[in-house]
Structure 1
Amino acid sequence: MHKGVVYALLAAALFGASTPFAKTLVGQVAPVGLAGMLYLGSGLGLLACIAVRALSTDAKPTGLTRSDLPWLAGAIAAGGIAGPVLLMIGLSLTAASTASLLLNMEGVLTSMLAWFVFRENFDRRIFIGMLLIVAAGALLSWEQAPAFGVPWGALAIIGACLCWGVDNNLTRKVSASDALQIACAKGLVAGSVNLGIAFAMGFRLPAPGTAALAGLVGFGGYGLSLVMFVLALRHLGTARTGAYFSAAPFVGAAISLLMLRETPGALFWIAAALMGAGIWLHLTERHEHEHLHEPLYHAHAHSHDEHHQHEHDFEWDGVEPHSHPHEHEPLRHSHPHYPDIHHRHEH
C-alpha cells in the first residue's frame, strides 16, 4: 500500500477515535475551554516529541520558512481555533455516533476547495464518491433535525468541517516542511488562543484528572493525527488525503456504539452504507498518464528515487531519507501517481 495512504488512514483512525472520548468530556468542560485543552495537549505532547527527537538523532528536518508563515497562520485560525469550537458545540447537541459520521463532511469540503479553489485534479470516480458521502451527511442531518427549527448541532459540526477543509488546503502549501513542527505550532497557538478566549468568558480549569484526559485525547486525536495528515498531504495531495481521511468517522461511530451504548436509527445505517461506498470508490482509484516535471527547487525529506537523481554539494553519509535543498531537472515519464509535492501539473 502506498505510504501516503497508510499515513492518511492512521490519521483517520486517531482522529476518529478521539470523537467519542471528547463527547464524554463535553458535559464536564465548556466547549471553548475543551477545544483549547485538546489543542494545547496536542501541542505540548508534540513539543516533547520534538525534544526527544533532537536528543536522539543528529538529523535536521526541513523547518518552516518565512514564506510558509502566512499559510500556516491561516490554517491555524480556521482549523485550530474556529473548527474545534464549532465541533465542541455540535457535540453538545448531537449523539456521538451521528457526529462521528457527520465529520465525513470534512473530506468532502476539503476536496471541493482543493478542486474548485486550489485547482487540484480529480476524475468522475472521485466525484461520484464524494456525492455519496454528501448524501450520507444530508441523511444524518435530517435524522437529528428537531420537529421545528434548525438542526444546530449538525450545522455546527458541518461548519467545523468547512473550517478544517480550509485548514487542510492551506496546510498543503507547507506540507514539505517538518510535519512535527507544523502540528506542534498549530496545537500550541490554537490551544493558547482558545483557552484565552475561554478564560475571558469565565472558564475555570476542571479537575486535574479531567484536564489530563483532555490533554491525552488531544495529543492522540489532534496532535499525532495531524502529523500523519501532513505527511499524507505531502504524498497524496489534499483531495485524496481528505478522501482517505473519510474513514475517521467510522472508527468514531464504532467506538461510540460500543462505549456510549447509543442506539442509532435506520437512517444511520443507510448513511453508513452510502459513506462506505463513497470511500470504496476513492480507495480503488488509479491515476496514470504521461506527465512533465517542470524544474523545481525545494527542500524536504527524501530518498534517491526516480524523482530525486541529484548530486550533493556537501559530504553525504549515505543515510536515507535525508533532508536538504535540492533541484529537480525537467523530466517526462509515465507512472501511477497522486498530486503530491512533485505532481502538481496541469491535465
Structure 2
Amino acid sequence: MRSSVLYALFAAVLFGASTPFAKLLIGELSPVLLGGLLYLGSGIGLALVRLVRDRGWKASSLTRAEWPWLLGAILFGGVLGPVALLFGLRYTSGSTASLLLNLEAVLTAVIAWIVFKENADRRIVLGMLAIVAGGGVLSWATGHGDTTTWIGPVAVAAACLCWAIDNNLTRRVSASDALFIAGSKGIIAGTVNGVLALSLGAAMPPPATVLATMAVGLLGYGISLVMFVLALRGLGTARTGAYFSTAPFIGAAVALLLLGESTSPAFWLAAGLMGWGVWLHLTEHHEHEHTHEPLAHRHRHVHDEHHRHEHDFEWDGREPHEHWHSHPPLTHKHPHFPDIHHRHGH
C-alpha cells in the first residue's frame, strides 16, 4: 500500500510540473499539435524503455475483453483531454489552471462511486466537496466581470472530465503492463492529434521546440501515467485520484516560483480549500471484515497474504514475479483500499 501511495505522488509531481511548461509552449504551437507532440514523446519514449526492459518486442498481456476499455481510455484521456486543457491554457494562467486540475480527482471519484460502485466514506466525500469549493472560487474569480475569461476554466474543467473518464476506464486494465498501457496511449493519441493538427494547417515548429515538447510529454504524460497505473492497482480509482490531486499544487508552485506569475487573494483561498480536501484524503483509514471471491488474473506480485499459491512451473524464488494465478475464497480483516484484490461491495 505504501508503494502505491508513492507511485501516485510521484505521478502527481511529474504531471503537475509539466502544466506550467506546457503553458510556455502554447504560444508557439496550436493546442492540437502540442497535445500530439506531448503524447508522441510519451509513447515513443516508453516504447523504447519497454524494448530495453524486455530485450525485444513482447506481446501485450491484455485480453480481448480488455481492449475496448483501453481504447476508450485513449480516446478520452489521450485525444480529447489534452486538447481541452491546452485550449484552456490560452485563456487562463498556468497557476490557476494547475489548481483547477484538482477537479479531475472529484470527477474521477464521482464516476467511480456512481458508475463502478467503488466505496466512499464521509471523509473522502468531505474532501471532494472542499476541492470543488476551491475550484468554484477560482472559476468565479477569473470570470467575474468579464464575459470571455470563463472560457479558460470551463475548458480546463472539460479536460478534467475527460481524464476522469480515462482514469475509470484505465482501472479496468490496471493489472496489465503499465508500460504497455501508457506507451500505447501515447503513440495512438499522439498520432491522431498530430495528423489532425497538420491536416488543419498547423506548421511544425523548429526541431529544438519539438524535442523540448516531447521531453515534457515523456516526463509529464508518459512516466507520470505509468506511475498512475501502478497506483491504481493498489489504491483503486477514487483514492488514486485523491493522491494525484496534489499535482495542481506542484504546478502552481512551479508557475509562481519559476515563471513569476502573480496571484490574488482568491487564489490562496482556493489553495487552502483544496489543500484541506487533499489532507482529508491522505489521512483516510479504511478497515473491515471482507470476503474475497474466487479470482484468476495476471500481474506482478509477491507472496503476501493474498498470494499464497503454488506454481505449476519451475520457479527460481525471485520476487516480485508475474504469471497467471488463482485466488481461492478468503475472509479476513485488515486496512485496505479498493485495489485489484479488494473490489467488493459494502
Query: Partners in 1 of 2:199 and 2:339 — Cα distance?
Result: 42
Structure 1 range deviating more: 145-154 or 219-228: 145-154
Give the secondary-structure state (helix, strand or coil) at the position aligned to 1:291. strand
Residue of structure 2 equivalent to 1:190: 189
Residue of structure 1 equivalent to 2:173: 174
Residue of structure 1 equivalent to 2:4: 4
Residue of structure 1 equivalent to 2:202: 203
Give the secondary-structure state (helix, strand or coil) at the position aligned to 1:100. helix
Cα RMSD between the aligned structures?
A: 1.4
Cα deviation code 1:247-291 (max 9, x no counterpart):
000000000001211111000000000011000000000000000
Query: Partners in 2 of 1:138 and 1:210 — Cα distance?
Result: 35
Query: Partners in 1 of 2:194 and 2:203 — Cα distance?
Result: 10
The one-letter code matched in structure 1 to 2:126 is: I
Does residue 30 of the first structure (1) align with residue 33 of the second (2)? Answer: no
Query: Partners in 1 of 2:344 and 2:259 — Cα distance?
Result: 46
The counterpart of 1:63, out of the listed 61, 64, 75, is 61
Structure 1 range deviating more: 112-121 or 1-10: 1-10
Give the secondary-structure state (helix, strand or coil) at the position aligned to 1:66. coil
Contact 1:61 1:301 in 2 (8 A): no
Contact 1:39 1:222 in 2 (8 A): yes
Query: Partners in 1 of 2:339 and 2:173 — Cα distance?
Result: 12
Contact 1:136 1:272 in 2 (8 A): yes
The one-letter code matched in structure 2 to 1:84 is: P
Measure how far apart 1:149 and its partner are. 2.1
Cα deviation code 1:153-196 (max 9, x no counterpart):
00000000000000000000000000000000000000000001
Query: Partners in 2 of 1:62 and 1:278 — Cα distance?
Result: 38
Give the secondary-structure state (helix, strand or coil) at the position aligned to 1:323. strand
Residue of structure 2 equivalent to 1:335: 334
Return closer, same or farther for 1:312/1:61 CA change in 2, 3 Å cut-off: farther
Residue of structure 2 equivalent to 1:84: 82
Contact 1:109 1:165 in 2 (8 A): yes
Return closer, same or farther for 1:61/1:308 CA change in 2, 3 Å cut-off: farther
Query: Partners in 1 of 2:122 and 2:74 — Cα distance?
Result: 32
Query: Partners in 2 of 1:290 and 1:61 — Cα distance?
Result: 39
| Equivalent residues, number | 345
Return closer, same or farther for 1:170/1:200 CA change in 2, 3 Å cut-off: same
Give the secondary-structure state (helix, strand or coil) at the position aligned to 1:318. coil
Measure how far apart 1:63 and its partner are. 2.1
The counterpart of 2:113, out of the listed 102, 112, 115, is 115
Query: Partners in 1 of 2:2 and 2:60 — Cα distance?
Result: 22
Contact 2:79 2:193 in 1 (8 A): yes
The one-letter code matched in structure 1 to 2:38 is: L
Give the secondary-structure state (helix, strand or coil) at the position aligned to 1:325. strand
Does residue 47 of the first structure (1) align with residue 47 of the second (2)? Answer: yes
The one-letter code matched in structure 2 to 1:213 is: A
Residue of structure 2 equivalent to 1:127: 125
Unaligned runs of 5+ in 1: none
Residue of structure 1 equivalent to 2:20: 20
Give the secondary-structure state (helix, strand or coil) at the position aligned to 1:305. coil
Cα deviation code 1:37-61 (max 9, x no counterpart):
00010000101110110229x9x89
Mapping for residues 123-272 of structure 1, pairs under 5 Å: 123-145=121-143, 147-149=145-147, 151-272=150-271
Query: Partners in 2 of 1:204 and 1:263 — Cα distance?
Result: 32
Contact 1:137 1:271 in 2 (8 A): yes
- Aligned-residue sequence identity (percent) comes to 62
Query: Partners in 1 of 2:32 and 2:293 — Cα distance?
Result: 45
Return closer, same or farther for 1:160/1:133 CA change in 2, 3 Å cut-off: same
Contact 2:60 2:180 in 1 (8 A): no
Query: Partners in 2 of 1:62 and 1:254 — Cα distance?
Result: 38
Does residue 323 of the first structure (1) align with residue 322 of the second (2)? Answer: yes
The one-letter code matched in structure 2 to 1:85 is: V
Unaligned runs of 5+ in 2: none
Query: Partners in 1 of 2:76 and 2:112 — Cα distance?
Result: 16
Structure 1 range deviating more: 70-79 or 149-158: 149-158
Query: Partners in 1 of 2:256 and 2:328 — Cα distance?
Result: 53
The one-letter code matched in structure 2 to 1:93 is: Y
